[in-house]
């Protein structure tokens, strides 16, 4: 199974979602993380939500709805979305589970990255480390499901 993922796009309001198809699929929501300025400043995306849905446009629009746990973070942080259309329910479920498992396996790498942040409060770094992922997957079975740089 190979999935055709969209590019990451900035998600400031539900108007950015006008071109999202009304089809079943999988999506990922991420927050931009920037290390403090210095000689090795890095920008990364911390994936904070992965889910499958029968209607991508509706599910992504609901992220902005009153009562959504993502409404405030989307308004306060630089967040990005990407999705893949997956009409077959078994493939959609398998891709979502594989991505969630991969994210969980990358927590150790992420925690090492955020332990090195100077001046970051310990609880904030731990929270970010739980959500952060390494941006490039090399040599894993996930290569067909997730594009390089996911």
CATH number at residue 125: 3.40.1440.10
Task: Tell me, yes or no, whether 14 lies in a domain.
Answer: yes
- Alpha helices, H only, the chain: 56-62, 71-76, 89-105, 107-115, 122-131
Whether the CB-CB separation of 137 and 102 falls below 8 Å is answered with: yes
Task: Tell me, yes or no, whether 2 lies in a domain.
Answer: no
What is the Cα–Cα distance from 76 to 89, expressed in whole angstroms? Answer: 33
Task: Tell me, yes or no, whether 26 lies in a domain.
Answer: yes
Q: Domains in the chain: how many in total? A: 1
pLDDT in 10s for each residue of the chain, 150 residues: 678 999 999 887 777 788 899 999 999 999 888 766 666 777 788 888 899 999 999 999 998 888 888 888 888 888 899 999 999 999 999 999 998 888 888 766 666 655 555 554 444 444 444 444 333 333 344 455 555 555
The owner of tokens 């079975």 is: 141
Tell me which residue range forms the domain holding 109: 9-134
Task: Tell me, yes or no, whether 149 lies in a domain.
Answer: no
Task: Tell me, yes or no, whether 125 lies in a domain.
Answer: yes
Give the per-residue pLDDT at 120. 47
What is the Cα–Cα distance from 128 to 150, expressed in whole angstroms? Answer: 17
Task: Tell me, yes or no, whether 3 lies in a domain.
Answer: no
| H-helix or E-strand spanning residue 81 | strand 79-85
Give the per-residue pLDDT at 139. 38
Task: Tell me, yes or no, whether 146 lies in a domain.
Answer: no
What is the Cα–Cα distance from 102 to 55, expressed in whole angstroms? Answer: 24
């Amino acid at each position: 199974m190979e999935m055709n993922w969209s590019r990451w796009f900035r998600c400031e309001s539900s108007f950015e979602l006008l071109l999202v198809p009304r089809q079943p699929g999988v999506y990922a929501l991420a927050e931009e993380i920037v290390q403090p300025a210095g000689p090795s400043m890095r920008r990364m995306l911390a994936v904070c939500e992965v889910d499958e849905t029968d209607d991508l446009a509706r599910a992504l629009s609901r992220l902005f709805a009153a009562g959504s746990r993502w409404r405030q973070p989307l308004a306060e942080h630089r967040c990005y979305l990407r999705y893949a259309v997956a009409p077959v329910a078994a493939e959609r479920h398998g891709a979502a589970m594989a991505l969630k498992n991969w994210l969980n396996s990358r927590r150790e790498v992420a925690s090492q990255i955020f332990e090195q942040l100077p001046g970051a409060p310990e609880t904030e770094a731990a929270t970010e480390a739980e959500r952060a992922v390494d941006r490039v997957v090399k040599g894993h079975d996930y290569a067909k499901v997730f594009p390089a740089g996911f």
